[in-house]
Structure 1
């Protein structure tokens, strides 16, 4: 995915406000053993790009005045109440060094999970993305979490995820955290209990 930008020479709050009035978003690209470069981007194109999941967890091609380099989106600031991107940061990627990135989780086969299909359970996403470490060429767009065998009251944990080759999960807690679980709502439990209750014994015949 290519992002078009131009270098900007002016800095400061006043200059940034003028850029925004012109439909531009100020930003910066840094890292990779090079000096940071102040840039400006077309706001509308950037705003729509930010709606795409791949923009947040993929290696991007940043074209600055025609020169291209590989980058990652690192941060962006939205206006408190307007639909306006106020600033954006990109980090250059060294393809020989591992990067640390949040990758989205895609939950598949929820409709056929036994906990949903047989027990009327509700899928609860405890995590929606995963911190991973890998080389840039191994970075996946997403990680699939298969719920096909998940029973009600059970969870899938970090150790059970099938990660692509060369990709490692980075656990900050140092434990095997739950990623997703299936919970049966209280109403469904009560209804099931009522249906399986033993019927009252028949009254003995009158003498």
Structure 2
């Protein structure tokens, strides 16, 4: 698992004008909340966070925030506000993630076996990705980097659903808890082929 960290400073002043001043100084205002503790206002380097979020996996990982007094807090990103037309972060929300505590994060799906997919390679179907990520509930110290979806044996007309995914121990998919077992990927017949099949069925 990748280790992510950021250097932060405590923010003593609040409001729009101080926040604008911070942004002019290439600092990003942010807040930390949760974990049974009071919310805490902080700032961080625009350059540092811009570089960090280039790695999309940071949004499903615990981040270590390092304070000037040598203390640290473990958090996950809960919200990130971008400038309307510049590649600049305007504000961030972090949620504390204490060891063993369960948190919800969006985890990317990693599709494997696409080149050898039976429904595509031998049956002329087209692979259709319905989801690229899923929201999971998992212990903060065991967040998965990704969830593998093996499509190598998927045949034309078949789908893989959320309930078919193999999850690490202690990880659950929130949609399933609400009875929503949606498909994540399927092999479809090519559009032209689907039309010809339906016409042939009508003639029969």
Under a length normalisation based on structure 1, what TM-score does the superposition of the two structures give? Answer: 0.86
Which residue in the other structure is 1:19 paired with? 22
C-alpha distance in 2 between matches for 1:36 and 1:86: 19
Q: 1:170 aligned to 162, 168, 174, which one? A: 174
Q: 1:52 aligned to 55, 69, 74, which one? A: 55
C-alpha distance in 2 between matches for 1:149 and 1:82: 44
C-alpha distance in 1 between matches for 2:123 and 2:82: 42
C-alpha distance in 2 between matches for 1:167 and 1:190: 41
Q: 1:184 aligned to 179, 189, 197, which one? A: 189
CA offset digits 1:34-80 (Å, max 9, x no partner): 22111111112211211212210011111122311111111000111
Q: Is the 8 A contact 2:61 2:145 kept in 1?
A: yes
Q: Is the 8 A contact 2:100 2:141 kept in 1?
A: no
Correspondence list, 1:81-92, <5 A: 81-92=85-96
Which residue in the other structure is 1:153 paired with? 157
Runs of 4+ in 1 over 6 A off after TM superposition: none
Which residue in the other structure is 2:120 paired with? 116
Count of aligned pairs between the two proteins: 193
Q: Can you give the 5+ residue segments of structure 1 that lack an aligned partner in the other structure? A: 193-207
Under a length normalisation based on structure 2, what TM-score does the superposition of the two structures give? Answer: 0.87
C-alpha distance in 2 between matches for 1:79 and 1:110: 37
The alignment's C-alpha RMSD in Å is 1.9
| Bigger-Rg structure (1/2) | 1
CA offset digits 1:136-173 (Å, max 9, x no partner): 22211111111111112211001110001111111165
C-alpha distance in 2 between matches for 1:121 and 1:43: 46
Q: 2:102 aligned to 79, 93, 98, which one? A: 98
C-alpha distance in 2 between matches for 1:184 and 1:44: 47
Q: Is the 8 A contact 1:120 1:188 kept in 2?
A: no
C-alpha distance in 2 between matches for 1:32 and 1:87: 20
